[in-house]
């Protein structure tokens, strides 16, 4: 339920202070929105590059792996052991920042496996790292996109609702107070005229009585 607007000088002062706050905060919100938009574009570009590198690596990997006839279970020889991140901050948004990707290679018989296994494991390790990097980047983008959504709502609220509404409230109160002042001046003049008329009548009455 909307609060009823009071047509008083105190309310006019409160509305002017509110307008000053909105007009002070709005540029900061607009700047934050712009920073978040730029960051999303940057992250999207990094994710696109990451996907391109992964696709190129997968294509190269599959091309030369098909030429090899040795039945080697490559996934059993390599595993993602740990992903370490730290907290970062972008325009007030806490985001994960990749610090280290720890990959474990299981031991295998160098004499019982073909020489291409080493190259294949290198390729797989690069694929794993790329995938982890992309997941972190996508989480960063998700968090920043959510903050951008909230910030955009606030910008719209200030621009389209709060500032116009407060400006209109100020206009209404000023008009009301102006009319009240005009009415008060008119009443004062009328009272003076009545007072003057009364004094004149008293003078005439006194003169007639003498």
Chain centroid to Cα 49, Å, comes to 26
- Residue 94, domain member (yes or no): yes
Helix (H, G, I), strand (E, B) or coil at 187: helix
pTM above 0.85, yes or no: no
Q: For residue 198, what pLDDT is reported?
A: 58
Cα(99)–Cα(85) distance, integer angstroms: 5
pLDDT in tens, 93-136: 999 999 999 998 877 666 666 667 777 788 888 989 999 999 99
Domain membership flag for residue 50: yes
* 210: in domain: no
Residue 81: pLDDT above 60? yes
Total number of domains in the chain:
1
* Domain-embedded: residue 106: yes
Per-residue tokens: 47:
């994710």
Distance (Å, rounded) from C-alpha 121 to C-alpha 78? 7
Computed over every residue of the chain, the mean pLDDT equals 84
- Residue 127 domain-assigned (yes or no): yes
Question: Is residue 12 assigned to a domain?
Answer: no
**Contact (CB, 8 A) for 123 and 100:** no
Confidence band for 22, pLDDT divided at 50, 70 and 90: very high
SS3 22: helix
pLDDT average, residue stretch 26-37: 96
Asked whether the predicted pLDDT for residue 1 surpasses 50, the reply is: no
Structural domain that includes position 69: 25-156
Provide the 3-class DSSP secondary structure of residue 2.
coil
- pLDDT at 112 (0 to 100): 63
| DSSP codes of every residue in 69-119 | -----GGGGEEEEEEEEEEEEETTEEEEEEEEEEEEE----TTTS-THHHH
At 150, give phi and psi (nearest 5°): -65, -45
The DSSP bridge pattern shows strands 78-90 and 93-105 to be antiparallel
Give CA–CA dist 24/183, Å, rounded.
36
The answer to whether position 73 is within a domain reads yes
- Within a domain: residue 1? no
């Amino acid at each position: 339920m909307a609060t009823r607007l009071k047509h008083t000088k105190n309310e006019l002062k409160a509305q002017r202070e509110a307008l000053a706050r909105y007009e002070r905060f709005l540029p900061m919100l607009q700047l934050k929105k712009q920073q978040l938009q730029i960051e999303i574009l940057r992250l999207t570009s990094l994710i696109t590059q990451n996907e391109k590198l992964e696709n190129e690596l997968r294509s190269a990997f599959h091309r030369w792996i098909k030429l090899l006839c040795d039945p080697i279970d490559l996934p059993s020889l390599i595993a993602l052991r740990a992903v370490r991140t730290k907290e970062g901050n972008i325009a007030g948004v806490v985001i994960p920042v990749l610090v280290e990707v720890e990959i474990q290679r299981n031991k295998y018989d160098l004499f019982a496996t073909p020489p291409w296994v080493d190259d294949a494991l290198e390729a797989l390790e690069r694929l794993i790292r790329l995938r982890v990097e992309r997941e972190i980047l996508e989480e960063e983008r998700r968090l920043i996109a959510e903050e951008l959504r909230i910030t955009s709502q606030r910008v719209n609220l200030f621009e389209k609702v709060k500032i116009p509404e407060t400006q209109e409230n100020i206009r209404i109160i000023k008009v009301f107070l102006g009319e009240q002042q005009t009415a008060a001046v008119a009443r004062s003049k009328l009272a003076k005229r009545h007072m003057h008329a009364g004094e004149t009548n008293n003078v005439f009455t006194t003169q007639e009585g003498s």
